[in-house]
A = this chain, B = another copy of it.
């Protein structure tokens, strides 16, 4: 599979190393517009529909910014309440997609149900990008995380990477780990036991012969890792355990980072706040380790690459790593 003209971006499970390298290459080449604060006209006259059945600031606005930086325009809804798409007389997802495909040249969809983006892609005649489906996948997030590591470290091989927090239910984390499974880094999986990756992810890691170690606390791994990626605790599905998990949940402070490598990068998919406060203390922001806001910028670049590729505005191109 190649992410080229007409392709859907539903999951990172079926992406090859070459696919990912191509996306990184295109992100590098187009994304400089984000840094110079200019726009291109590669997608002038093209329309992106954003169907957000779950509300979002980051993902929706990031895709909108990417589309606008490429000269295209955007329409859609920011939450299901302002559309016919929910409620007792709701129309089916398939009918909504068969409608919206006539309004736009590509569709980004976020939906609470696992598999929703795939169902949309099955009926759509235009490319569908998964903006998060239930606890399943959030491929543009996983790819922007991989791109962040690549930008900051120059490689996705030979690193020690800690994935910290709710590994079980975080869709972006799933998309990242499948992306990383194409490269040769060592993973440290840090989470309360209930929140570990499911069997499918572990099977993939074993199949690709990727070394991984499960740990319960950041302390066990902090001195060894080059990358520390932290994510939120998802309330959904935790039931009565939520309060306890919240208290046990890994939190990063200057103290936690004592003894870390000088060039450790700390990432987070944001927002970093929960009922107990910040998962990464704001004192960390001023350290050279903090890369969680850089991820936002890289995210626009990666989404520019995905949109330009599936709308056929750029060629997948060659090696980039």
Contacts and interface: CB of A to CB of B under 8 A. Distances in A.
Interface in A52-83: 55-58, 61-62, 64-65, 68-69, 71, 73-79, 81-83
Contacts of A37: 46, 105
A90 B278 CA distance: 10
Interface in A272-318: 272-275, 293, 296-297, 299-300
A297 B297 CA distance: 36
Nearest to A235: B89
A243 interface: no
A96 interface: yes
A49 interface: yes
Contact of A100 (B61, B89, B96): B61
Contact of A271 (B38, B61, B79, B84): B84
A103 B300 contact: yes
Interface in A28-66: 34, 37-39, 44-47, 49, 55-58, 61-62, 64-65
Contacts of A34: 102
A98 interface: yes
A104 interface: yes
B55 A82 contact: yes
Contacts of A49: 61
A114 interface: no
A91 B274 CA distance: 8
Contact of A45 (B38, B55, B61): B38
Contacts of A209: none
> Nearest 7 CB-CB pairs, A to B?
A39-B45, A91-B271, A65-B103, A57-B83, A102-B297, A78-B82, A64-B75
